[in-house]
Amino acid sequence: MKKFKSIALALVVVLSTVAVSAQTKKVDAAKSSIIWTGKKVTGSHEGTINLKDGNLVFKGKTVVGGTFNVDMTSMTVTDLKAGQGKEKLEGHLKADDFFGTDKHEIATLLFKKVSIKSPNVYTVNGDLTIKGITKPVTFELATTVNTALANVKIDRTKYDIKYGSGSFFDNLGDKAINDNFDLAVSLKF
């Protein structure tokens, strides 16, 4: 009888370990996209930035975690053409008064807590690191069998990106740039 209890206990441990084990799905960086939008008093600009690598962690069909690395040096402007200020704006965004990509090539996102909002829609609380500064960020993530979508609003001033911010500088007039920028993220895995 004692031997039977030991076998039964071992079986319960093995089955419960299998039931709660997580599956990591690698994101296909080449098929994924990140579109950024920055606004200012007189309009807006948008562009792309490349995902270097990343993964989502699932327990069954439920997202429970994730980690992502973004290649900040890949930032491009898509609403301007060559000779119309495209190169100047790209250079400025990569300069130290914005993202400082020479010193900070990678931005990272680490999911800290994932809550189910509705079927296949999650509220994600994570740590976002830009320019070596880590701050909390919250956003919604929607998933299908092999995709995930998120719209993320980021306050750039929390990452010491204060250029043109009306929150820090007076008399900017129509040169003021919104503190928040938006990311439309589409992941394939």
Strands (E) located in 60-176: 62-77, 106-118, 121-130, 133-143, 147-155
Buried b vs exposed e over 89-113: b needs ≥16 C-beta within 10 Å? beeebbeeebbbbeebeebbbebee
| pLDDT at residue 40 in the model | 82
Phi, psi of 157 (to 5 degrees): -65, -25
CA distance 101 to 146: 31
| pLDDT at residue 9 in the model | 46
CATH 2.50.20.10 fits 22-188, yes or no: no
| pLDDT at residue 33 in the model | 98
CA distance 3 to 162: 68
| pLDDT at residue 83 in the model | 86
Per the CB < 8 A criterion, the answer to whether 114 and 63 are in contact is yes
* pLDDT 10s digits, 67-126: 999 999 999 999 999 888 999 989 989 999 899 999 999 999 999 999 999 999 999 999
DSSP H helices, 21-70, are none
Query: Running DSSP on this structure, what letter comes out for residue 114?
Result: E
Q: Tokens for 46? A: 């948008």
CA distance 62 to 188: 16
CA distance 173 to 175: 5
Per the CB < 8 A criterion, the answer to whether 36 and 49 are in contact is yes
With the C-alpha atoms ordered 149, 185, 38, 80, is the resulting torsion angle positive or negative? Answer: negative
Which span out of 6-20, 129-143, 155-169, 173-187 was modeled with the highest average pLDDT?
129-143
| pLDDT at residue 178 in the model | 81
Per the CB < 8 A criterion, the answer to whether 11 and 5 are in contact is no
| pLDDT at residue 168 in the model | 56
At 13, the pLDDT band (50, 70, 90 cuts) reads very low
